[in-house]
Copies of this chain bind each other. A is one copy, B any other.
Amino acid sequence: PSVPRAGELPVLPPDVDRDTFNKAIAELKESLGKEHVELNDKPLVDGWYMEHPNTHDAFHVVEQSELVSSATVYPGSTEEVQAIVRWANKFLIPVFPISMGRNLGYGGAAPRLRGSVIIDLGRRMKKVLKIDGQNATCIVEPGVTYFALYEEIQKTGLPLWIDTPDVGGGSVLGNCVDRGVGYTPYGDHFANHCGMEVVLPSGELVRTGMGALPGKNGADNPSWQAFQHAYGPSVDGIFSQSNFGIVTKMGMWLMPETEHQSYMITFPKEEDFEQIIDIIRPLALNRILGNIPQLRSVIQELAVTGKPKSHFYQGKDPVPEEVIRSHAKNMPCGDCAWVFYGTVYGPEETRKMQLDVIRQEFAKVPGSKFILPQDVPEDHYLHARVRICSGVPELRELDWLNWKPNCAHLAFSPITPTKGEDAKIVHELVTRLHKKWGFDSLPTWCVSGREMHYIAEILFDRADEDEKRRAIACMREMIAEAAAQGYGEYRTHLIFMDQIARTYGWGDQALMRLNETIKDALDPNGILAPGRAGIWPKRFRGRGFQL
């Protein structure tokens, strides 16, 4: 949906008048070429995942025209990124870097601060700079998607896997700096990155890790993608989920291809999840579960068929449990409450040993059923998981976005230890508050070992103002209630960044003061992504920009 835009366009960033802005843009066009600078002054179009806008948040939960940029600039090289940053310092214009801008559910391509200039790195900087088949690593630019990296590797014929999130159109680099997750044994993306090149808010360029040591005769360092640290402090972490720098190159570890076997296990009762999670924990700790498996509520079996909610239920309220289960009964999963999607890796004997233990352990849950890909039809979601869990990018996960008309989602993503008792507290409040605010609850636990990312997606109709208001209210209440119990989110949508950052307030906001101290030192003019991760530079602090 697209509503006509009110007011003079483009929207300007704070503290910048239209004359200065126009002058600045003219200068930017001069230096980058006018075809590489676009004003955001046309109607906003939400598009869809593969044709997403870089002007605003396609999954807008506030008004569509609220989180918008003033312009987009397309650098073609690291030097041009540096030039843009210097330009921003000169005119005090806030810039917001995106790689692909497919951060849907977390703000899409929108800047945190209205009127910022989007630096769209993805359009022109999209080379796979290196694939090292021996050491199983690569170096990518921001515009390399999972699909692109996958194809590039296929071309080489090397037996290497990438790790992909549930949808493959994102940026390998952008997802990693936002600390996203995938589902092979390399699913913790940030843990598997190795070496960065970063443009600092001053415009200076720095290489981290071994890349900081020049290679022979000016070559890249031979250990840049082999070892994660330089000598001295390990700085990479501060460039994740922050506004301290723009990452222009990144190394990633690739996984040597291996045999694999995916499976699903269904569990009959809603209250089984505590026992399931307590079974998962030792299996994960002992590496019998080889990857980042997902435990999904059965409603997702319905949603991921791609059929709309109305196909299953006519009411406006959340689909009642009986209705969900009556449909599930006639589907491959059968009548159940939870579905666990797992994969084991390695040679046949290893997989067999692991599967034996897995089957035996989960069999302790009365009524659980173990299902292999050959047991379900070709179009069942399990086959998509087989691919995802062996590093093949997919789009299948988008299918649940047909659930409602104009459907968008908002992700609530708290972290808990892999323990039934913790899971219960979070699951209970999420279930209760979804119901209170009138939403279906579609939780997935992504288990990475000692912790789980609990991902609950609120699905809402972008054309329904009341639904959007309720989605926000539901999020705010979930964040607050979870924090009161000691649980916090790993990542969030732009409009909840301030609230969530504040929940990490131990010691009277000590961590935020540390972040602000670093921010002010690196970005004294406050030009880089003000407000991202709740970190406001001095010049914007305390002026009412916090949400």
- A residues within 8 Å of B by Cβ? 134-137, 179, 190-191, 194, 200, 204-208, 210-216, 219, 221-223, 225-227, 229-242, 244, 253, 256, 258, 281-282, 285-286, 347, 349-350, 353, 415-419, 422, 450-451, 483-492, 500-501, 503-507, 510-511, 513-515, 517-518, 520-522, 533-535
Contact B486 A227, beta carbon cutoff 8 Å: no
Query: Known: A206-B511, A223-B417, A353-B350. Is A450-B232 also a contact (CB below 8 A)?
Result: no
- Closest beta carbon of chain B to A340's beta carbon, Å: 20
- Closest beta carbon of chain B to A245's beta carbon, Å: 9
Query: Known: A222-B422, A506-B214, A518-B518. Is A231-B486 also a contact (CB below 8 A)?
Result: no
Contact B506 A212, beta carbon cutoff 8 Å: yes
Given A214-B505, A234-B237: 9 more A-B contacts, CB < 8 Å: A208-B511, A212-B505, A215-B486, A222-B487, A226-B450, A229-B237, A229-B490, A231-B500, A521-B521
A453 to B194, CA, bound (A): 16
A488 surroundings in chain B (CB, below 8 A): 210, 213, 221, 223, 230-231
What would 19 A/B residue contacts be, using CB atoms closer than 8 Å?
A135-B419, A200-B514, A206-B510, A206-B513, A207-B506, A212-B511, A213-B506, A221-B506, A223-B451, A229-B241, A229-B490, A230-B488, A231-B491, A231-B533, A231-B534, A232-B504, A233-B518, A234-B240, A347-B353
Contact B204 A510, beta carbon cutoff 8 Å: yes
The closest CB in chain B to the CB of A486 belongs to B215
- Closest beta carbon of chain B to A334's beta carbon, Å: 32
Contact B504 A212, beta carbon cutoff 8 Å: yes
- Closest beta carbon of chain B to A32's beta carbon, Å: 22
Most B CB within 10 A of own CB, among A219, A487, A506: A506
A417 surroundings in chain B (CB, below 8 A): 135, 222-223, 226
Of the candidates B214, B242, B350, which one forms a contact with A233 in the assembled complex, judged by CB atoms under 8 Å apart?
A: B242
- Closest beta carbon of chain B to A208's beta carbon, Å: 7
Contact A504 B353, beta carbon cutoff 8 Å: no
Rank and list the top 8 A-B pairs by shortest CB-CB distance, nearest first: A234-B237, A521-B521, A233-B242, A232-B533, A215-B486, A226-B451, A212-B504, A226-B417
The closest CB in chain B to the CB of A345 belongs to B287
- Closest beta carbon of chain B to A427's beta carbon, Å: 14
A520 to B522, CA, bound (A): 11
A211 to B369, CA, bound (A): 38
A517 surroundings in chain B (CB, below 8 A): 521-522
Contact B225 A136, beta carbon cutoff 8 Å: no
Contact A205 B507, beta carbon cutoff 8 Å: yes
A206 surroundings in chain B (CB, below 8 A): 506-507, 510-511, 513-514
